[in-house]
Chains A and B, each alone.
Chain A
């Protein structure tokens, strides 16, 4: 993405290259695949609207005799989804903002200041993000049990079992990816502007905040969307670092809808739809942003 003057020179490429043959075949194929991809989601929505007795009797492929939102109400009241949503929000929103801020500065330092050792730094961050989460989970669990926090920050009096723990890990872990992407993006920005700023005597902060950052908006928007989904969707950190049920983010709390001995799959479906909704909505709303972020760099050269 981020790609270059070439496209700018040839703005119109109406409908791509010709090659008309096999068009309808391609359409049929893509349509079939798309429907197959959508089917499980539609099934989840459909199942969530129907009472268990009915689907148990007739299976999922039957016409409904009654559709209701009961399961959604049940998911919200019985298992306190509202509370869990708030937890997710408390982790995700600051998480994304802090990550983007720290990562963009680090990327700026790495890509545009040419400090000594910046390549090593980039490698450390990139590699860190590629580690499987389970590699670091055990020592973090021990560490968080030893870090005390005042009561007003954590009622467990330590970092363990507080949202801070999850927030900190999310930021630290996602930094690597954002630094990597932003550093690559910043490299494609014209250096001339930066040099002009240096000639004008701009300090590091000004060069970062007023010269580089405004040019990174598309990349930041794309990363923000991505990071929102990733942090929101994370399952493991909440599971391991929180022990009080009330504190779980909504993704990890989904497991609570499963009964001890009996699982009502339709309730689970409603829960899944509720959990999936924010990311799907964000994706659909910001898709333009998202895809623009991936390709927009193309049109300025």
Chain B
């Protein structure tokens, strides 16, 4: 989204005479009337309130709770960094979960994203039936991740799964989802299946916005198609690249539904998100401890979020 001004350079709409640039004060003294202020207070206040009460408040609360040993009912007792110490040292599921989240990130970033870009480029070249390809490839994206998880079981289950039948291994079946060394890869495949279409649509829209003159100019200058793409088109897609990057990271950190649908995230499919959920709605209800895991997740994602916002802010200032 947004790409307009940067990618196309000048817009024909504002020649220099379109009025003095910004610093000129708004004409006259009129700012907002009392009615305007009331409208603003209500309609701006409501979303801000919702966002603070149900998103940012809980985020801070998570941080605070992570330093306690609360079980949800009794008194809240201060625990210092105890939960974190336990987490890093004595919680056997923690490091496998971190590893799986990283694998998830790598798979989405290094496989699904480039593949989605490739498909977008091919479709954008104007092949016939592009509408059909586009719809088909995007189809998995509209499915719920839980449904993706269930369909994965249909394809991959040991005894009846389609994959074993396809490979002719009914007599010596591979337990694709049950084998803890194997299942994460299979689940990643399912995740990539869905992510590819997402990336493709974003790039397809971005590619349509790239000024064809850019490509023509590159071609006239003697650039090969490949050079033109990597040196001219891809840099012009920077805003889309940033958005795709953010979505990829966030999807990797949020990953939950697929593994939960497959086996509730056990036996090789541990993820940080699953551990958080298990600690709250599980029997134990270790809210303090669960929050500590959530904070780890928060810190990692904040790193990416802040990088992204700084990028946005820079773009904002250039506007």
Q: CB within 8 Å of B: which residues of A?
A: 1-7, 9-10, 13, 15-17, 19, 23, 26-27, 29-31, 33-34, 37-38, 40-41, 43-44, 47, 55-56, 59-61, 102-103, 105-106, 109, 115, 119, 121, 123-128, 130-143, 168-169, 171-173, 175-176, 179, 181, 184-185, 187-188, 190, 192, 203-205, 229, 232-236, 239-240, 251-252, 254-255, 265, 268-269, 271-272, 275-276, 279-280, 282-284, 287, 291, 294-295, 298, 301
**CB of B176 closer than 8 Å to a CB of A:** no
| Bound CA span A257–B61, Å | 35
Whether A16 pairs with B208 at a CB distance below 8 angstroms is no
| Bound CA span A13–B272, Å | 48
**Residue-by-residue, is B254-288 near A (CB-CB < 8 Å gives 1, otherwise 0)?**
10110011000000000011001100110000010
A37 with B197, Cβ < 8 A, contacts A136-B62, A172-B54 known: yes
Whether A4 pairs with B55 at a CB distance below 8 angstroms is no
| Bound CA span A15–B124, Å | 9
| Bound CA span A94–B297, Å | 31
- Closest Cβ neighbor of B208 among chain A residues: A295
Most chain B beta carbons < 10 A, residue from A7, A55, A130, A188 = A130
Chain A residues within an 8 Å CB radius of B5 = 4, 188
Classify the secondary structure of B's interface with A.
Answer: helix
List, sorted by A's number, 13 A–B pairs whose CB atoms are closer than 8 Å: A6-B8, A26-B127, A34-B137, A41-B140, A109-B43, A139-B291, A141-B281, A172-B50, A187-B319, A190-B13, A232-B144, A275-B146, A295-B205
Give min CB distance, B38 to chain A, whole Å. Answer: 9
Classify the secondary structure of A's interface with B.
Answer: helix
**CB of B309 closer than 8 Å to a CB of A:** yes
| Bound CA span A291–B123, Å | 14
Whether B12 pairs with A29 at a CB distance below 8 angstroms is no
- Closest Cβ neighbor of A243 among chain B residues: B281
| Bound CA span A105–B36, Å | 13
| Bound CA span A72–B76, Å | 48
| Bound CA span A33–B304, Å | 32
Whether A204 pairs with B32 at a CB distance below 8 angstroms is yes
Whether A268 pairs with B301 at a CB distance below 8 angstroms is no
| Bound CA span A230–B280, Å | 24
Whether B305 pairs with A5 at a CB distance below 8 angstroms is no
Chain A residues within an 8 Å CB radius of B305 = 127, 130-131
**CB of B11 closer than 8 Å to a CB of A:** yes
| Bound CA span A283–B305, Å | 30
- Closest Cβ neighbor of B61 among chain A residues: A139
- Using A172-B51, A192-B18, A275-B144 as known contacts, list a sample of 15 further A-B pairs with CB atoms less than 8 Å apart, ordered by residue number in A: A4-B8, A26-B127, A31-B133, A37-B140, A60-B161, A60-B165, A121-B48, A131-B305, A139-B65, A184-B2, A203-B35, A204-B40, A236-B257, A240-B277, A255-B261
Q: CB within 8 Å of A: which residues of B?
A: 1-5, 7-8, 11-13, 18, 32-33, 35-36, 39-40, 43-44, 46-48, 50-51, 53-59, 61-62, 65, 72, 119, 122-129, 132-140, 142-147, 150-155, 157, 159-162, 165-166, 170, 193, 197, 201, 205-206, 208-209, 211-213, 215, 225, 246, 250, 253-254, 256-257, 260-261, 272-273, 276-277, 280-281, 287, 290-291, 293-295, 297-298, 301, 304-305, 308-309, 312-313, 316, 319
Whether A254 pairs with B55 at a CB distance below 8 angstroms is no
Q: Which of B147, B151, B298 contacts A135 (CB 8 A)?
A: B298
Whether A251 pairs with B272 at a CB distance below 8 angstroms is no
Whether B136 pairs with A168 at a CB distance below 8 angstroms is no
A61 with B162, Cβ < 8 A, contacts A33-B137, A134-B256, A168-B54 known: yes
Chain A residues within an 8 Å CB radius of B57 = 139
